[in-house]
Structure 1
Amino acid sequence: MELRQSIQHQIKDYLIITLGLIIYSISVTCFILPYEITTGGVVGFGSVIFYATGFPIQASFFILNAMLLILAIRTLGWRFCLKTIYAVIVLTVLLDLVQKFMLHYGAVHSAEFVLSPKGFPQIVKNDAFMSSLLGATLNGIALGIVLLNNGSTGGTDVVAAVVNKYKDITLGQILMFIDIFIVSSSIFVSGTSVSILLCSYCTLIVTSLMVDYVMDRGRQSVQFFIFSQKYEELANAITKTHRGVTVIDGEGWFTHTERKVLILLVKRRESTNIFRLIQSIDPQAFVSQTKVIGVFGEGFDRIRAKAKKSTPVNDDALKEQKAIDVASKVIDKPLE
């Protein structure tokens, strides 16, 4: 039974990751490439090469990721890299297919659209800033969907994960440094104008904000306090939904009546089911629901914290402190 559920969860993850990759490939091709805007990551690096030389983005994306993954497998292990390998292969194919479709569509409907130097139709006509905002928003949503389902698009994510494993630097700091470097390089490599460079920086910021928004919404949890005479029936029903319940003793101070209180934490998307259970079992129950900043543990997010490096012991200082302690005991008076 557990194996079957695990397989179902894995299939669900891969399907949702694929949806995120489809959105990402459409966003890049329809809103980013027509104005030669540069994004972060390996796709952004590939776009810089594409604008300068015409070498396909999907080819450079695949080659660079293949090299990075070969180096990362030994450090991060197959478990981390498996979904990344899947995402890299699927995104490479999707970028190729969507670009071919848009180039063909632009050629057929050239009278209706302004075409970029590479032949991509400008869906948002003559407005690079609005196009960059739409592209960044969709990019952030797509990447958030992928990350929420334990996926990764590879590239700079892999580099950041490797560096983070050995250095006390956050993933966000590493990714931001790499992305700023990639975007800044476009003005020298492909001759990007200052206005497009500013649009590229806006794309980075909006994408980052949207990723955080999607991740926070997807991981948001809520806490319930339930006061009910039918607490046993409610607790049993909630437990069947594979969520734990804590029962504590409470007392109504106005009536001095002892009452059991149920406490539980669930994902925000599961709160509707909890309300339905309460409504069906005890419509008279008193319920308090609050948002929580984070929940860590079984069934929720894992605790992610790196242990601080221990400070080497100074032998001379330790000996000096021991001598002071001995002298203090002899004269029965604290020494400084």
Structure 2
Amino acid sequence: MLTEVKKHLTPKQIRADAEFFFLLNLGLVATAAGIALFKTPNHFAFGGTSGLSIVLATLFPRFNVGAFMWVVNAVLVVLGFIFLGIRSMGWTIYSSFALSFYVSAFEWAVPLRAPLTNDVFLELCYAVILSAVGAAIVFNIGASTGGTDIVAMILNKYTSMPVGRALMVSDLGIVLAGAYLYGPATGLYCILGMILKSTVADSAIEGINLRKVCTVVTSRPEPVRDFIVNELHRSATMEQAQGAYTHEEKWVLVTVLTRGQAQKLRLFVHSLDEHAFITIVNSSEIVGKGFRSI
């Protein structure tokens, strides 16, 4: 059966699966680095399984944060099996245990008894950036980091409670526990980190998906079209138009490019037709063939 499945996989599908697996692990490694190198030494309990594990590791110092993440994630995965079923869990199972493994690996490779620096705010920035960028990479490919995402999936299936509100309440509870254990200063840093993480994650996702929507109005459409298709390896939409003031016949070409491709197109059009009109607009929501699927 496995051999039959492999025969039906095209080289393109294999490359896509390999890219997905690479990006998933890259995001999990970045998240684990933020937890092990910056969150744990500073007791930044932002919420989630990492925040809960930091609190538990303080209450039970015999075990480190990585060990508690294994336990907490295992419990959540079992709950997912019971309430959601194996099929609904998908890559969440892998993400839960892979993140625990990477955190344990960092704790083994870089054991820290104290923060790397004496600048708490600097440590907070790196804790937020690494965790947010890692989560953004994972979410952007349609996966999750596991952990409390399983709780969100269960709540979404069995209750009418908004998932975002439920997760915020649980994260706030972990932050308050951290503030009680580590003092009000650390608690305030945790609240700040929790707010910044969502903002940075959203910005990171937009940055990853950022594209340039280019509109070219020119009287020489063929060279521009050929450049887009043959040199930039993209397509475009063309339509004939008329200038409102001069009443001259023009062509409008619309295409979506990366930042580098948009720069090449701008320089090419400028050298080809000095009277051409170009608008370039940022967009992070491009849906269609060659971009995000519908």
Q: Trace 1:15-94 onto structure 2 (pairs within 5 A).
A: 15-54=22-61, 55-72=63-80, 75=84, 78=87, 81-82=90-91, 84-94=92-102
Determine if the alignment matches structure 1 residue 252 to structure 2 residue 243.
yes
Q: Which has the larger radius of gyration?
A: 1
**1:283 aligns to 2:290 (yes or no):** no
Q: TM-score scaled by structure 2?
A: 0.80
SS at match of 1:226: strand
1:172 and 1:293, CA in 2 relative to 1: closer, same or farther beyond 3 A?
A: farther
Question: 1:12: which partner in 2?
Answer: 19
CA distance in 2, matches of 1:90, 1:48: 21
CA spacing shift, 1:176–1:235, aligned 2, 3 Å? farther
Q: What is the CA-CA distance between 1:77 and the residue it aligns to?
A: 6.5
Superposed displacement of residue 211, structure 1: 0.7
SS of the residue 2:143 aligns to: coil
Query: TM-score when scaled to structure 1?
Result: 0.71
Q: Is the 8 A contact 2:31 2:131 kept in 1?
A: yes
C-alpha change, 1:248 and 1:224, in structure 2 (3 Å) is: same
Q: 1:18 is aligned with what amino acid?
A: N
1:164-203 matches, within 5 Å, as 164-165=156-157, 171-187=163-179, 191-203=181-193
Offset of 1:265 from its aligned partner? 3.4
CA shift digits 1:186-219 (9 cap, x unpaired): 345xx22122111111121121221111012122
2:201 aligned to 211, 224, 228, which one? 211
2-side partners of 1:186 and 1:219: how far apart? 35
Give 5+ residue unaligned stretches, structure 1. Answer: 107-119, 304-336
- Cross-structure match for 1:117: none
- 1:263 equivalent to 2:271? Answer no
Q: Are the counterparts in 2 of residues 37 and 200 from structure 1 also a CA contact under 8 Å? A: yes
- Partner Cα separation in structure 2 for residue 249 and residue 192 of structure 1: 67
Aligned twin of 2:5? none
Residues 24 and 143, structure 2, Cα contact 8 Å, conserved in 1: yes
Choose 169-178 or 19-28, whichever is displaced more.
169-178
Q: Give 2:117's aligned residue.
A: 124
Please list the CA deviations of residues 47-95 of structure 1 after superposition, one character each: whole Å capped at 9, or x if unmatched: 111111023322332333233334446748647622x333333322221
* Counterpart position of 2:150: 158
Instruction: Please name the residue that 1:148 is paired with.
Output: 140
Q: Which residue number corresponds to residue 325 of structure 1?
A: none
In 2, Cα distance between the equivalents of 1:263 and 1:76?
Answer: 45
Q: Which runs of 5+ in 2 are unaligned?
A: 1-7
Cα root mean square deviation, aligned: 3.1
Deviation digits for residues 97-154 of structure 1, max 9, x if unmatched? 2112332xx5xxxxxxxxxxxxx232112x4344223312222122222222333210
In structure 1, distance between residues paired with 2:22 and 2:54: 27
**What is the aligned length?**
281
Classify 1:133/1:292 alpha carbon distance in 2 versus 1 (closer, same or farther; 3 Å).
Answer: closer
Q: Is the 8 A contact 1:31 1:132 kept in 2?
A: yes
The letter of the residue matching 2:71 is I
Which has the larger displacement, 148-157 or 231-240? 231-240
Q: Against the structure 1 CA distance between its residues 171 and 298, is the aligned structure 2 distance closer, same or farther, given a 3 Å change threshold?
A: farther
**Contact 2:179 2:186 (C-alpha < 8 Å) held by counterparts:** no
Deviation for aligned residue 1:157: 1.8
Q: 1:24 to 1:224 in 2, by over 3 A?
A: same
